[in-house]
Chain A
Amino acid sequence: MNADVIVIGAGISGALVADRLAASGVSVSMLEAGPRIDRQQAVVSFFDAAIKVPECAYPNTAYAPHPRSEDPDFYYVQTGPDKFKSTYLRQVGGTTWHWLGTCLRLVPDDFRLATRFRRGVDWPIDYAALEPWYGRAEEAIGVAGDSSDNLGSPRSAPYPMPRIAPSYLDAAVAKAFDGLGFDVRATPQGRNSVVRDDRPPCCGNSSCIPVCPIQAKYDATAHVARAEKAGARLLAQCVVHRIEIGRDGRVAAIRYKRPDGSDHRATAKVYVLAAHAIEIPKLLLMSRGPNAAKGVANSSDQVGRNLMDHPIQLSWALNASPVYPYRGPFSTSGVETTRAGDWRATRPAFRIEIGNDGWSWPTGAPASDAHALAMKGLRGAALQKALYDRTARQIRFASLTEQLPDADNRVTLDRVERDALGLPRPRIAYRIDDYTKAGLAEARRIHGALFERLSATEVGHKVDADFQGAGHVMGTARMGADAKHAVVDGDLRAFDHPNLFIEGSAVFPTGGAANPTLTIAALALRSVDAIRAALRT
């Protein structure tokens, strides 16, 4: 196989790059490790799943396995001291199949954490450089938002769609925030509020995670389809396991395996690695060879290091009166003012997400409540009333906290454990530091104060080692200003290999506290010009 550009991974960043390049006449091939997904089958799988975790709607193949939320040791080989709890999908469309759809921009201070707060590192680009691309990413994804809301990230263009309305629950809960200095705002979302791009508006299926049955929520299959229509070639079930480096330091070819174990080689002028922040370092490290002694793109020894997430403080309670969760998208409002402030020198940024999904996340409700009430001996009308009363009052907060880059938080290759194709499973060392713990504690304190103001009962907090994963895997092929300390430059080009680009949240030097997908998309769109330039040289 030969193409101008080979894109490895058909998630959001790979699909956006492939679409843009193919639309301008570039010959593009996308290689995706996992299969194509049938949406209706995914919905059926969600219905049939006893444990309704984010991955439950999708096949977990032997040839391209993915981690599972309910078993952090299923695919990862974890060495601790803390468990890494975030997962991803390996399939056409990638992890956007089960993302929430939150489309927040980073705030300007997120790009200069070292300069402003002597924490972490600065990005090689600033907010102003990325701002136009944020707008284009919002246009590409289709973001619904309120352009008059100040979320701390200046805008030069309006959102392409009117906002998704906050829920009745949001309005009821927001009263508790009055006077505390927190503004509850509608969350910008990659979710149609009107018909757009041949996709319907959201009808409140309330199953955004794991699957939107009607694709009102954006997922990357939209841009995969566009790329294919523009001439890009998609090859699913192709597990790239090696990047070959020539004597000139350029990528010469890639090798991939099919599920039957057969091995193939493909060449291109430029290669774009867009395989998520665990598989990217895994592939780069697997590709050690004569011309890449420490692994591909790893002269800095930063590949696999600085693994970050947004560890979550999850809290829940029963409101005094009905707020009617289980209606609408999983979350429609949040607090963003906690993402920026001078206190970031001592504790991290975080954002408070208000949930519309009752206690489904922390307790497995409503099925768990139905079971528990029935086992208490309630039946008939008494059971119906009790279940209504309990589920109608469920509220939950999730605060996503910033985690600093730490070179010892690291993805490497396990020397023993292999997948079905004989490829090493990712070995993960991970620790939550005191800085992040301070943020989790502060979030827990605020959640508790809010519950008290709401006169809520049955308050629950996940504490200490029970922090939750956000599914925001970042940092393992960091972007930076120089080759000694980073894997890629500000255009996402590998310092070591001029025809290799790396996409996705793996390149984030720091993670802020915003859900990363919009930034992933903005960076991907911004990188296309550099990829085109690389083709010309």
Chain B
Amino acid sequence: MDVDRRRVLQSIIGATLAALDGGVSAVTVSQSLASFRDACAALTGYPAPSIADATKMLAAFGTPQRRAALARLARVVNETTPTGLDAALRAHGLDTVANELIAAWYSGVVTRGRTSQVVLYADACMWSAMSFTKPMGRCGGVTNYWADPPS
């Protein structure tokens, strides 16, 4: 990710978070979502999620308690090369929120206190990582395909 792109990312995530507070126009929100998708792609290692999925995730994950940390996370992602990202996140105390966001994308679940919300199911990253299968509840192939190892 080049520096300009990161800078845009930083500003748009901030705008998205501000938009969540109700103070930014619809156009800005749209741009923010696009950039949030890119940010999540950088953290998960997968292509950017769909606008619909990103909207759902941002709405569920971007709680008032997390918004400031998410804005800082965007800034750090923007200013750091991929190889230095882990150290930068730790140095800024952002490793936990980064981990939580990645956990949410992989599991599809956002946990707040004692409650858990399934934001994504079939599009959760875990199913892509488990490339030997597919989401439970989806057809896997012809009858008895499970007798053979995955191709």
Contact = CB atoms under 8 A, between A and B. Distances in A.
A362 interface: no
Given A168-B146, A388-B130, A391-B130, A367 B140 contact: no
B137 A207 contact: yes
Contacts of A325: 133
Nearest to B145: A204
A43 B137 contact: yes
B124 interface: yes
B136 A360 contact: yes
Contacts of B21: none
Contact of B99 (A47, A194, A356, A375): A375
B103 interface: yes
Contacts of A368: 107
A175 interface: no
B145 A367 contact: no
Interface string A356-380: 1100100000111111011111011
Contacts of A169: 146
Interface stretch (B4-12, B27-35, B61-69, B114-122): B114-122
Q: Which of A214, A328, A357 has the most CB of B within 10 A?
A: A328
Contacts of A356: 146
Residue of A165, A367, A375 with most chain B CB atoms under a 10 A cut-off: A367
B129 A388 contact: yes
B39 to A, nearest CB: 12
A41 interface: no
B148 interface: yes
B109 interface: yes
B137 A167 contact: no
Q: From DSSP, what is the main secondary structure of chain A's interface residues?
A: loop
B144 A164 contact: yes
B133 to A, nearest CB: 4
A387 B129 contact: yes
A388 B108 CA distance: 16
A506 interface: no
Interface string A494-511: 000000000000000000
A322 interface: yes
Contact of A167 (B109, B121, B128, B146): B146
B34 to A, nearest CB: 21
A82 interface: no
A48 B118 contact: yes
Contacts of A193: 143-144
A324 interface: yes
Contact of B145 (A171, A328, A371, A392): A328
A360 B130 CA distance: 14
A380 B102 CA distance: 9
Interface in A364-410: 366-371, 373-377, 379-381, 383-384, 387-388, 391-392
B137 A46 contact: yes
Interface residues of A, number: 57
A332 B143 contact: no
A100 to B, nearest CB: 14
A441 interface: no
Given A165-B144, A327-B145, A370 B126 contact: yes
B121 A370 contact: no
B144 to A, nearest CB: 4
Contacts of A164: 143-144
A322 B116 CA distance: 30
B132 A204 contact: no
A221 interface: no
A44 to B, nearest CB: 9
B130 A392 contact: yes
Contacts of A376: 99
B53 interface: no
A72 interface: no
B44 A370 contact: no
Contacts of B129: 370, 383-384, 387-388
Contacts of B115: 50
Nearest to B137: A207
B140 A327 contact: yes
Interface centre among A357, A367, A374, A384 (most CB of B within 10 A): A374
A370 B107 contact: yes
13 contacts: A49-B118, A50-B109, A166-B147, A193-B144, A205-B137, A206-B133, A213-B138, A367-B126, A374-B107, A379-B44, A380-B44, A383-B129, A387-B106
Given A377-B86, A380-B43, A383-B102, 14 more contacts: A50-B109, A167-B146, A171-B147, A193-B144, A322-B132, A327-B133, A327-B140, A370-B129, A374-B99, A374-B103, A374-B107, A379-B44, A379-B45, A383-B44
Interface of A: 43, 46-51, 164-169, 171, 193-194, 201-207, 211, 213-214, 322, 324-329, 332, 356-357, 360, 366-371, 373-377, 379-381, 383-384, 387-388, 391-392
The 10 A-B pairs of least Cβ separation, nearest first, read A328-B146, A380-B45, A374-B103, A204-B140, A370-B106, A165-B144, A47-B121, A203-B139, A50-B116, A165-B147
